[in-house]
A and B are shown apart, each in its own frame.
Chain A
């Protein structure tokens, strides 16, 4: 009985060690599912030390040692797998062997085996996808219990003389088995609690981070300006609960919420050297309030004492900072530090994304300008040539055509809006077609079939003309026979379809030049209405090309 108490005493020492270990940073890797090689090496040294200490804290009995050496190898095995377990067991066992005594060899051997047993349990849990049970006290207890039984069996089998071995076992077996098993279970239980703490903290900060992200992402599409900066600072202040939050651009404070807002005025220049460094060097600056203090350059009664300055950047350009402060009487929580950095990075990415979006829109705009500028000189000079010729014997007709030509050009120049009605589009197209008809004479036949209500349909400005020009320029004008261009607009359910068909059948995917106009039209429709809309172009070579535009009848985006 006394032996059991002595062993429990020894075990208590381990529990203190276990407690300290779990609070140390070396424990943190154990809370993840996969261990890196470096972590395993730390574990090896730690548990080997635990095992050797188990031997030293043991009680010598009849030339043997009653001990809790098994705790180290079994735990190493359960946590780190068979190799680690065996290695720790072997180390502990070798040490025990070096101390001598008639059980030296058997104890050395059995300690190694115990490590392996722990490792096998680890393997089993992993194979059956029950790795959550690694930190389960029950599993640890049963494993150690079984491992210690094996140890006893090995001692009885290997130790000679058998009578002496039996005598020793009779005294030490029960206390050793019990204390080691309980010790392992408690060790694991401490680890389990610490792991839970980590996870809870992680869960709280992720929840906060998601909440902030959710609240900020909506309006950040507009970029950071005076207005959004204030909103952003307020949200971060509310969610993190820090003393104060400031947002700066590269030169001045854009927003300040919280303690000290009486003298930290938005609009003022950046005076804090910490912020200047953060901007200049694009790095996170943290003054924890103890080793390094935040000293307010504006007021000597400022309550703020610690600060985190995180640069906001787009690509690698710093565009400003987000600052989190705590007053003198409050510690700057590590969680808030992580949160502050995380949110700023998230916002940086968001800003990059919105800049990309803006650039994409800009590109489409530019392409549109290009498309308009494409009113090609070839068309212009040929039209003029045609009209000049017609002047000779039909002045009225020539006048008419000139009116169409000027209408066409005016429509092209006056294109401020994104959307036009189909009617407006057709008006421009009509002028264009009148001139082409004059040029190509009976080689060009136009057929129009427009469902009247669709005249009010809104389409991206400058949709129809490039497509029809395409059909004529790259299709019909290359035909020796008569060419027919059909424009057909109809409804189907909640969809509107506009078809432009020619009988040249000369459309080629990826052909240079002529595809550009169609691509731009397609992209503009998609960016306005969504990816399920746009153009399709079935083409039967030398028979027909039919370009179909699909757009929704209900225009929600205006």
Chain B
């Protein structure tokens, strides 16, 4: 049995797909999500084998969601769309799998066959994710999108990942790894990412340690391991400018 997660902003679309998947007898539905944020949380929690992903969704669409999923947790993804010329083009260009709504049983059968082969092959699915321009953060019951260029730094601890910008500190479901890979933020510490454009000064300490002062006066630690990389990045940038 394959564990499937359904992501679609329309309730009837979710229910219909659920019914169809259950009918095949090959799936256990591990969750249904109405938007990308619910999906990111559910993926972390449920670690599904396959994701059925709608393209047009509020705030964060299917493609954007794909780039926000941590590689380690990346399930096999099947896009589901009613009709969207641009999406279809993107599917073809990036050899992404997709189903058309309303979903026909015959195409779903092919999907099952393909999925089984992929899962048996044991290969980790890799999708070329686009860059993340805005980081979705949770603010009470609302979602706040923070532009990457506004971010001062990002820190993580046991409680989760926090994005710090001039407006304050916001919790995000994205992992540090995803943010490091898909944005211009660079790693300066095991638990910190920093926006190189927001660095005001770097203060060197003993033991090859350092501390970054950001433009708004926040202090971000730099570990020994990352100092070298940071230096290279900065020198490189200096020479460039």
Residues on A close to B: CB < 8 A?
Answer: 376-378, 380-382, 384-386, 388-390, 392, 438-441, 443, 477-481
Contact = CB atoms under 8 A, between A and B. Distances in A.
A377 B56 CA distance: 14
Given A439-B10, A479-B58, A480-B143, A389 B100 contact: no
A120 B11 CA distance: 94
* 7 closest A-B pairs by CB: A389-B16, A381-B82, A389-B12, A377-B83, A385-B101, A386-B12, A385-B102
Given A381-B101, A480-B35, A389 B143 contact: no
A388 B59 contact: no
A386 B100 CA distance: 13
A310 to B, nearest CB: 54
B26 interface: no
Contacts of A384: 102
A478 B58 contact: yes
A385 B84 contact: no
Contacts of A440: 10
A297 B19 CA distance: 88
Contacts, number: 62
Given A392-B16, A478-B59, A480-B142, 16 more contacts: A376-B83, A377-B82, A377-B83, A378-B56, A378-B84, A380-B83, A382-B101, A386-B12, A388-B16, A388-B102, A389-B19, A392-B15, A439-B10, A439-B12, A441-B10, A477-B9
Contacts of A388: 16, 102
B104 to A, nearest CB: 11
A381 B83 contact: yes
A441 B13 CA distance: 11
Interface centre among A377, A380, A382 (most CB of B within 10 A): A382
Contacts of B11: 441
Nearest to A477: B58
Contacts of A389: 12-13, 15-16, 19
Interface string B100-112: 1111000000000
Interface of B, helix, strand, loop or mixed by DSSP:
loop
B210 to A, nearest CB: 40
6 contacts: A378-B84, A382-B82, A385-B10, A385-B101, A386-B12, A388-B16
Interface string B8-39: 01111101100100000000000000010000
Interface in B61-115: 82-84, 100-103
Given A389-B12, A392-B19, A439-B10, A381 B143 contact: no
A439 B56 CA distance: 13
A385 B82 contact: yes
Interface centre among A380, A381, A382, A389 (most CB of B within 10 A): A389
A376 B85 CA distance: 11
A382 B80 CA distance: 11
A386 B58 contact: no
Contacts of A385: 10, 12-13, 16, 82, 101-103
